[in-house]
Structure 1
Amino acid sequence: MQITEIRMFVCDEPRLKATLSLILGGVFVVKGVKIIDGRQGMFVAMPSRKTDGGFEDICHPVTAEFREQIEDEVFREYARVTHVPFETIQARRRRNSSHSDRHEGDSGDSEDGPAASRPDPVRPQGSPPDGSRFGAERDSRPRGDRLGSEQQRPDH
């Protein structure tokens, strides 16, 4: 998958370095990506939502290769926009981020928990090991009850 555009907004905060949107293949946008300077170095955090146990990625790369591609291109763009040498950013970059990162607070602060508590990088968090329905639960209500009478469509 080609990253066709990165729209970056540099932040003036100690740990949250930038927020950005990625345009993939010229047809799909991922908003809410962040560059965070955590305790173990800088990393790219995918969009996430708060859960009872912390944060959970909304979307993330399925393969380590695509995660590496995203990180490389995002850090190159950050270097270009901020005029910081890419080598300086590379030296500050965290190398063990092949997983979804946990966050604390809305400022993008990082909590680097043990690897065992991190989601599986190969399949979406919460999905069954066999990949069936990617963790979605089937709605057993009759179709008319799900859509509401004004939205009900005839079955063909």
Structure 2
Amino acid sequence: MNITDVRIRKLREDGKMKAVVSLTFDDAFVVHDIKVIEGQNGLFVAMPSRKVGEADYRDIAHPINQETRTMIQDIIFEEYEKAKNLTGEEFFEE
């Protein structure tokens, strides 16, 4: 399985949510609404989820093992840093 496309769809400077990402796997399957969140210990990736009950959320899609989670996080963080450092373009959402 290869990640063949990473799209930073929204990028924010304020608040805890820093970006919304879409990943394409093997040019055949896409996962939308992956979030880059600023937590107490730095950035982390939150998989797409839906609300279940009053205050609980359940992931809709997520990696099964740590190796895959690390691969996904590494490529998302790399593309996030590139998007943040774009010059001459207004990339941040208001």
TM-score range, shorter chain: 0.7 to 0.9
Residue of structure 1 in register with 2:66 after alignment: 64
Q: 2: CA distance between counterparts of 1:33 and 1:78?
A: 12
Write the mapping of 1:4-19 to structure 2, written as runs, cut at 5 A.
4-8=4-8, 9-19=10-20
Residue of structure 2 in register with 1:38 after alignment: 39
The sequence identity of aligned pairs, in percent, is 40
Structure 1, gaps ≥5 residues long:
85-156
Between structures 1 and 2, the one with greater helix share: 1
Q: CA deviation at 1:44?
A: 0.5
Q: 2: CA distance between counterparts of 1:40 and 1:78?
A: 17
Write the mapping of 1:2-151 to structure 2, written as runs, cut at 5 A.
2-8=2-8, 9-52=10-53, 53-83=55-85
Higher Cα Rg: structure 1 or 2? 1
Please state whether the residue corresponding to 2:72 is helix, strand or coil.
Answer: helix
TM-score, normalised to structure 2, is: 0.83
TM-score, normalised to structure 1, is: 0.51
Q: CA deviation at 1:16?
A: 0.6
Where does structure 1 differ by over 2 angstroms across 4 or more consecutive aligned residues?
none
Relative contact order (C-alpha < 8 Å, sep 6+): which is higher?
A: 2
What is the aligned residue count? Answer: 84
Q: 2: CA distance between counterparts of 1:56 and 1:33?
A: 13
RMSD: 1.4
Between structures 1 and 2, the one with greater strand share: 2
Q: CA deviation at 1:77?
A: 0.3
In structure 1, what residue type is equivalent to 2:58?
E
Listed one character per residue, the Cα deviations across residues 97-137 of structure 1 (whole Å, up to 9, x for unaligned) are: xxxxxxxxxxxxxxxxxxxxxxxxxxxxxxxxxxxxxxxxx
In structure 1, what residue type is equivalent to 2:12?
C
Please state whether the residue corresponding to 2:43 is helix, strand or coil.
Answer: strand
